[in-house]
Amino acid sequence: MIFTDQLGNRISLAAYPKRIISIVPSQTELLFDLGLEEEIAGITKYCIHPKDKILPIQKGVKKGTAVVGGTKKLNLDLIRQLRPDLIIGNKEENEKAQIVQLQKEFPVWMSDIKNFGDALQMMEMIGELTGKKEKGHEIKTEIQKRFIQFSVYLPADKKVKTVLYLIWRKPFITAGKDTFISHLLKLCALKNVSLSSDSRYPEMTPESIRNANPSHIFLSSEPYPFREKHVAELQAICPEAKVILVDGEMFSWYGSRLLYAPAYFQQLILNL
């Protein structure tokens, strides 16, 4: 069987995979939701959902499934020991050099997610790749339905709220153009003030944050774990903005976690 990933790479499988290593947290959760629990041979230390099924793996209780390192620092020797017949990764989240090495030894399917459509396509493609085409289509369709229902709750007023979405501190880094986060902000009828930069993840100083003059500043729970103490810090930098802690998983996990995002966005927007 021949499959093409989202980077245009072609991989060949003799049969549907029985030993899958997922090196991206949001795609790991998707594999479980597709019903592939028994086929998952390896995950990363950042794979945390679904919690009830991941915890035994993280603790080493579930035999035959291992933690293969972090998304950007994989244990290649351990991966080789696990003898995967498929590895599923992502262009942005994994290190290119390690992926190139793995591609020489195993079938590696890569996603490339910049918007909502890419995420939906990825879910269907992984469903087909793993012999779970019907379930993949079901998850995709349900996500689409929930986002359509959510769109009804978007404010009808003409005053668009502007948002600075911070993902890191020291230095401050924000999600800019061509990012999945930015596209979800757009689906929430919010204007990302970082779109003018040429960088996808521009660094910002306190002065440039003030100059951006956002009506709202979102402090993400990941990858930097912003906490309540950081709200005051940003409020002092930009006194006119409303500073809010947000669940980064809802804005940046592009797998089946998107099933929960519309309900979260609905409550978030109601409180802006």
Could you count the other beta carbons within 10 Å of the beta carbon of residue 221? 17
Classify residue 158 by burial, with Cβ atoms within 10 Å: 0-12, 13-18, 19+. exposed
Domain encompassing residue 103: 2-143
134 vs 55: which has the higher pLDDT: 134
pLDDT category at 132 given cuts 50, 70, 90 is: very high
245-261: average pLDDT: 98
- Average of per-residue pLDDT values in the chain: 95
Last residue of a domain, one of 143, 178, 197: 143
Q: Are residues 94 and 226 in the same domain?
A: no
Classify residue 3 by burial, with Cβ atoms within 10 Å: 0-12, 13-18, 19+. middle
Q: Are residues 138 and 210 in the same domain?
A: no
Give domain status of residue 56, yes or no.
yes
Q: Are strands 20-22 and 86-90 parallel, antiparallel or unpaired?
A: parallel
Q: Are residues 229 and 122 in the same domain?
A: no
How far is residue 150's CA from residue 35's CA, in Å, rounded to a whole number?
27
Q: Are residues 17 and 120 in the same domain?
A: yes
What is the number of domains present in the chain? 2
Q: Are residues 214 and 124 in the same domain?
A: no
What residues does 42 pair with on adjacent strands?
Answer: 21, 66
Percent of the chain residues past pLDDT 70, beyond the cut:
99
pTM: 0.94
250-267: average pLDDT: 97
Start-to-end C-alpha separation, the chain = 49
Q: Are residues 131 and 181 in the same domain?
A: no
* pLDDT greater than 80 at residue 156: no
Give domain status of residue 48, yes or no.
yes
Contact 78, 68 (CB under 8 A): yes
Give domain status of residue 150, yes or no.
no
Q: Are residues 103 and 76 in the same domain?
A: yes
Give domain status of residue 206, yes or no.
yes
User: 42-46 long-range contacts, Cβ below 8 Å, gap at least 24?
Assistant: 42/66, 42/67, 42/68, 42/78, 42/79, 42/82, 42/84, 43/67, 43/68, 44/68, 44/69, 44/70, 44/71, 44/74, 45/69, 45/70, 46/70, 46/71
DSSP 178-220: T-HHHHHHHHTTEEETTTTSSSSS-EE-HHHHHHH--SEEEEE
Q: Are residues 36 and 100 in the same domain?
A: yes
Each residue of 103-121: pLDDT tens digit? Answer: 999 999 999 999 999 999 9
How far is residue 80's CA from residue 101's CA, in Å, rounded to a whole number?
11
- Residue 109: which H helix or E strand, with range? strand 108-111
- Residue 166: which H helix or E strand, with range? strand 161-168
At residue 150, the pLDDT reads 94
Q: Are residues 26 and 81 in the same domain?
A: yes
Q: Per the structure block, which two tokens stand in for 143?
A: 């996500």
DSSP 24-70: SHHHHHHHHHTT-GGGEEEE-TT---SHHHHHHHHTT-STT-EE-EE
At residue 158, the pLDDT reads 64
Q: Are residues 121 and 174 in the same domain?
A: no
Last residue of a domain, one of 92, 112, 143: 143
pLDDT category at 244 given cuts 50, 70, 90 is: very high
Q: Are residues 173 and 257 in the same domain?
A: yes
Last residue of a domain, one of 143, 177, 196: 143
Each residue of 35-79: pLDDT tens digit? Answer: 999 999 999 999 999 999 998 898 888 888 999 999 999 999 999
Each residue of 182-231: pLDDT tens digit? Answer: 999 999 999 999 988 889 999 999 999 999 999 999 999 999 999 999 99
Query: What φ, ψ does residue 19 adopt, rounded to 5°?
Result: -135, 95
Q: Which CATH number is 7's domain given?
A: 3.40.50.1980
233-253: average pLDDT: 97
Give domain status of residue 265, yes or no.
yes
Give domain status of residue 171, yes or no.
yes
pLDDT category at 159 given cuts 50, 70, 90 is: confident
Give domain status of residue 153, yes or no.
no
Give domain status of residue 134, yes or no.
yes
Q: Are residues 7 and 119 in the same domain?
A: yes
